[in-house]
């Protein structure tokens, strides 16, 4: 418990007041979501401000973490909880570091620290997870996966895993972990904790990959060091894994996603069952196997929160992708699909989807690569993506962004004919205009941006009235 | 034209030591050979695999600590000696990060046993307290090299190794003496990811030529149109130059700006 001393409440009010003022000022100056600076200010005045608000949530908090899919999954969970008639605080604009989480709580609290909702669904950055768990003290932690992502920020994958394991060891038995055990690293670091664990994963033999993709991590047994093998491999290093040397294997699944049918960039249909409940053949408007994992995670969380299947189904059927993750925009008579790319596994899955399972590109494509802090400043990861999938076919591929030239060069070495390449210099709005002009004979186009490039693309389309600005969502 | 040439590329520990996209180097060596009618063969050399005697050019990338320990163990003894004599006889090699450290004499962690290397480079590495992360520009015999460093190990060269290059931007071997990487005969080691070869084709071609020469093949390489490679090189150098020296510990405000939408123009 946080002591409620008079000094404490003065600090809390000062912290909340100051950052509320900062938030308002940033909004007025048109600097967008502006969640980081006010949050940082609040944490400096009162480091425990998040705990003081979170402990007053009547129905507790859910924290979602993982390299891929945390934004989509947490938004699905928030939508399902809202559909069940409860109010939810949710850090929607990708502000998933401690300061962004602080700003979100403060925006939804009175000066005395009373939250304006019953629950919170908080998406957490990988590096920030230990701190966010300590501050938020959630009742449920959803762990999606751990892939290599922005190694320049986090050092190495094992470093993140080691820090997570230590943080999970400090969780009380009142916090339940919901873990994708198709990921061998996650299965290992969440075994034998005080906090109870519910496992989930997929059983989709019809979507098994033949070999481990180049981007796969952690193909080594965390118990004995031998190479892992897979009875079935679905995505990156996720699947039904087994160490033939020591017998260590994927734990039994409490909640299972199955019967996945994909409909290109438009949607997927699947079933999820476990813990005595089942949702069959639900259609969700998100593409790809990676989203089958997100749907399974969200349904497993909803089962854990004892929300009834009919409510879950209708919330999922009405679900719309978070900004830039995988959305379709109509603009100037064109159908633009935007899919965020941020690491090799995610990028491979997007390529798998836009090439219809690896045959050939279905629409002209613009890839926008930035190398700001939030994108990952090292673009080496582009060499772990299997762009060789794009070598077949004839449609043009344009490249742009701060490191667009690296992207064009990568495609050349992947065997994409140079006559199909369209390397575009200059600012993204110019590149986007040129791309759309030069591909005017195609109604459908795809844009694959990294994080800050996606914000820029959405800003351009937002100013043109094609999409809503994200902090207004 | 003379007899058909082949380039045999030995990729050391492709699954265990491939964390930063360094396989781009293998792709570049293969493609630049193939585009010139030289048939590339990539031979993957994992733990317990014997090293064949007919490798022209080796590539050895970086890995995580756990993997690096397993690899160090595998290289101890016979396997390390075979590599050593291949390099001594003129085989070409590119080693990056963890691979570079293991081509040196030893790696000394903070709180564990020293990890022996195979001593091709007269170089020692010790664990440092800070992680060097950022773009690197270095001057070298292959011209200006551009790459991305991400390491906390500090490498010190002895008198038997020359540096691969001199730091123009970034931290390099140890952040102190202005050197980056090491070179011994036709083996080059460095901390540069990116991958390094796609944006530095001169170095890629040098490795191919030295490899061909090693097994008595004609090292002459016809020039390729490297427009996209040069473009990527220039853009990356431009990004490096736009960075302040204290990156990545940028001010709070520039980091916030990275998350905020760009202002309307």
User: B162 forms bridges with which residues in the sheet?
Assistant: B183
pLDDT over 70 at A26, yes or no: no
From CA B211, how far away is CA B214, in angstroms rounded?
A: 5
pLDDT tens digits, A65-88: 998 889 899 999 999 999 999 999
pLDDT bin (cut points 50, 70, 90) of residue A200 is very high
A148 touches chain B (CB under 8 A): yes
pLDDT tens digits, A330-346: 888 898 989 999 888 88
Q: Which pLDDT does position A282 carry in this prediction?
A: 97
The whole-number average pLDDT for the span A258-277 is 90
| Helix H or strand E segment including A229 | strand A229-235
Question: For residues A148 and A203, which has the higher predicted lDDT (pLDDT)?
Answer: A203
Judge: A463–B260 Cβ closer than 8 Å, yes or no.
no
pLDDT tens digits, A377-417: 999 999 999 999 999 999 999 999 999 999 999 999 999 99
Site from A380, A419, A430, A473 to mutate, B interface, most B CB atoms within 10 angstroms: A380
Nearest CB to B258: which of A155, A452, A463?
Answer: A452
pLDDT over 70 at B246, yes or no: no
Judge: A380–B261 Cβ closer than 8 Å, yes or no.
no
Alpha helices in A122-275 (DSSP H): 129-136, 151-154, 157-169, 184-189
The whole-number average pLDDT for the span B191-198 is 96
Q: Given B97, B151, B190, B233, which residue is catalytic?
A: B97
Chain A residues whose CB is inside 8 A of the B61 CB are: none
- Among A89-98, A452-461, B43-52, B109-118, the range scoring the smallest mean pLDDT is A89-98
Cis ω before A36 (30° cut-off from 0): no
Distances A82 to A74, A88, A470, B19, B113 between C-alpha atoms, Å:
12, 7, 20, 41, 54
- Going through chain B in order, the beta strands assigned E by DSSP cover 6-12, 39-45, 57-60, 92-96, 106-108, 115-116, 123-140, 143-157, 165-169, 179-180, 182-184, 187-190
Query: Chain-wide mean pLDDT for chain A?
Result: 87
Chain A closest-CA separation from residue B84 CA (Å): 27
Q: Which pLDDT does position B247 carry in this prediction?
A: 44
Residue A239 tokens, joined: 């699947």
pLDDT over 70 at B161, yes or no: yes
- Going through A39-136 in order, the beta strands assigned E by DSSP cover 61-65, 88-90, 119-124
Closest CA to B157 of B194, B129, B120: B120
The whole-number average pLDDT for the span A143-172 is 78
pLDDT tens digits, A8-20: 677 777 777 777 7
Chain B closest-CA separation from residue A3 CA (Å): 31
Q: Which pLDDT does position A469 carry in this prediction?
A: 43
pLDDT tens digits, B108-157: 988 888 999 999 999 999 999 888 999 999 999 999 999 999 999 999 99
Chain B closest-CA separation from residue A461 CA (Å): 12
Judge: A413–B134 Cβ closer than 8 Å, yes or no.
no
User: A122 forms bridges with which residues in the sheet?
Assistant: A63
A382 touches chain B (CB under 8 A): yes
Chain B closest-CA separation from residue A382 CA (Å): 7
Give exposure, A274-283, as e/b (b: 16+ Cβ within 10 Å): beebebeebe
Q: Which pLDDT does position A267 carry in this prediction?
A: 87
* B97: annotated active-site residue: yes
Global confidence as pTM = 0.75
pLDDT over 60 at B248, yes or no: no
Question: For residues A226 and A271, which has the higher predicted lDDT (pLDDT)?
Answer: A271
pLDDT over 90 at A359, yes or no: no
Site from A373, A387, A422 to mutate, B interface, most B CB atoms within 10 angstroms: A373
pLDDT over 50 at A3, yes or no: no
CA angle, residues B138, B140, B145, in degrees to nearest 5: 45
Q: Which pLDDT does position A259 carry in this prediction?
A: 96
User: B42 forms bridges with which residues in the sheet?
Assistant: B9
The whole-number average pLDDT for the span A248-269 is 92
pLDDT tens digits, B18-45: 877 889 999 999 999 999 999 999 999 9
pLDDT bin (cut points 50, 70, 90) of residue B263 is very low
Chain B residues whose CB is inside 8 A of the A413 CB are: 24, 27-28, 31, 198
Q: Which pLDDT does position A471 carry in this prediction?
A: 39
Chain A residues whose CB is inside 8 A of the B229 CB are: 409
pLDDT tens digits, A97-113: 888 898 899 889 888 88
pLDDT over 90 at B177, yes or no: yes
Judge: B260–A33 Cβ closer than 8 Å, yes or no.
yes
Nearest CB to B133: which of A152, A219, A225?
Answer: A152
């Amino acid at each position: 418990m946080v002591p409620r001393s008079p000094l404490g409440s003065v600090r809390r009010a000062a912290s909340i007041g100051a950052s509320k003022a900062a938030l308002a000022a940033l909004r007025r100056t048109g600097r967008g979501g502006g969640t980081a600076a006010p949050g940082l200010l609040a944490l400096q005045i009162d480091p425990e401000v998040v705990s003081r608000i979170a402990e007053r949530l009547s129905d507790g908090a859910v924290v979602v973490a993982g390299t891929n899919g945390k934004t989509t999954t947490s938004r699905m969970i928030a939508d399902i909880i809202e559909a069940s008639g409860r109010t939810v605080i949710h850090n929607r604009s990708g502000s998933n570091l401690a300061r962004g989480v602080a700003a979100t709580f403060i925006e939804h609290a009175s000066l005395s620290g009373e939250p304006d909702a019953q629950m919170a669904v908080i998406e957490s950055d990988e590096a920030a997870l230990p701190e966010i768990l300590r501050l938020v003290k959630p009742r449920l932690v959803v762990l999606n996966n751990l892939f290599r992502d922005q190694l320049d920020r986090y050092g190495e994958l094992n470093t993140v895993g080691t820090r997570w394991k230590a943080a999970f060891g400090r969780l009380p038995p009142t916090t339940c972990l919901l873990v994708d055990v198709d990921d061998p690293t996650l299965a290992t670091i969440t075994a034998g904790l005080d906090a109870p664990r519910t496992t989930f994963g997929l059983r989709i033999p019809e979507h098994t990959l033949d070999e481990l993709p180049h981007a796969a991590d952690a193909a080594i047994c965390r118990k004995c060091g031998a190479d892992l093998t897979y009875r079935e491999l679905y995505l990156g290093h996720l699947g039904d894994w087994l160490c033939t040397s020591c017998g260590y294997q994927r734990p039994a699944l409490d909640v299972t996603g199955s019967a996945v049918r994909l409909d290109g960039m438009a949607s997927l249909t699947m079933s999820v069952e476990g813990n005595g409940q089942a949702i069959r053949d639900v259609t969700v408007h998100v593409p790809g196997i990676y989203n089958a994992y997100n749907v399974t995670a969200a349904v497993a969380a909803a089962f854990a929160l004892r929300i009834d299947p009919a409510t879950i189904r209708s919330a999922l059927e009405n679900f719309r992708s978070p900004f830039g993750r995988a959305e379709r925009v109509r603009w100037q008579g064109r159908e633009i699909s935007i899919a965020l790319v941020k690491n090799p596994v995610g990028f491979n899955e997007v390529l798998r989807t836009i090439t219809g399972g690896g045959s050939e590109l279905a629409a002209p494509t613009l890839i926008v690569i930035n190398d700001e802090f939030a994108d990952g400043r090292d673009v080496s990861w582009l060499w772990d993506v299997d762009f060789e999938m794009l070598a077949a076919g004839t449609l043009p591929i344009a490249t742009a962004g701060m490191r667009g030239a690296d992207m064009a060069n990568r495609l050349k070495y992947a065997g994409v004919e140079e006559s199909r390449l369209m390397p575009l210099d200059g600012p993204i709005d110019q590149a986007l205009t040129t791309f759309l002009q030069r591909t005017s004979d195609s109604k459908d186009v795809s844009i694959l941006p990294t994080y800050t490039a996606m914000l820029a693309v959405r800003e351009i389309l937002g100013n043109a009235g094609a999409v809503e600005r994200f902090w207004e969502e | 034209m003379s007899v058909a040439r082949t380039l045999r590329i030995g990729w050391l520990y492709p699954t265990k030591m491939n964390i930063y996209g360094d396989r781009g180097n293998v792709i570049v060596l293969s493609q630049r050979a193939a585009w010139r009618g030289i048939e590339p063969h990539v031979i993957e050399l994992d733990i317990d695999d014997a090293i064949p005697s007919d490798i022209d050019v080796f590539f050895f990338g970086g890995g995580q600590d756990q993997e690096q320990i397993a690899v160090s163990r595998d290289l101890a003894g016979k396997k390390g000696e075979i590599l050593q004599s291949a390099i001594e006889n003129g085989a070409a090699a590119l080693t990056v990060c963890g691979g570079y450290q293991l081509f040196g004499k030893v790696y000394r962690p903070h709180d564990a046993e020293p990890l022996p290397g195979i001593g091709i480079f007269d170089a020692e590495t010790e664990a440092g307290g800070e992680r060097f992360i950022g773009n690197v520009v270095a001057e070298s015999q292959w011209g200006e090299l551009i790459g991305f460093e991400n390491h906390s190990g500090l490498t010190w060269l002895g008198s038997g190794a020359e540096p691969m290059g001199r730091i123009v931007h970034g931290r390099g071997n140890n952040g102190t003496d202005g050197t980056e990487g090491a070179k011994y005969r036709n083996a080059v080691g460095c901390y540069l990811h990116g991958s390094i070869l796609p944006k530095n084709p001169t170095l890629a071609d040098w490795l191919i030529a030295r490899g061909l020469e090693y097994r008595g093949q004609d090292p002459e390489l016809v020039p390729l149109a490297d427009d996209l490679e040069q473009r990527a090189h220039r853009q990356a150098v431009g990004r490096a130059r736009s960075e302040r020296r204290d990156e990545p510990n940028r001010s709070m405000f520039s980091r916030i700006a990275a998350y905020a939408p760009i202002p309307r123009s």
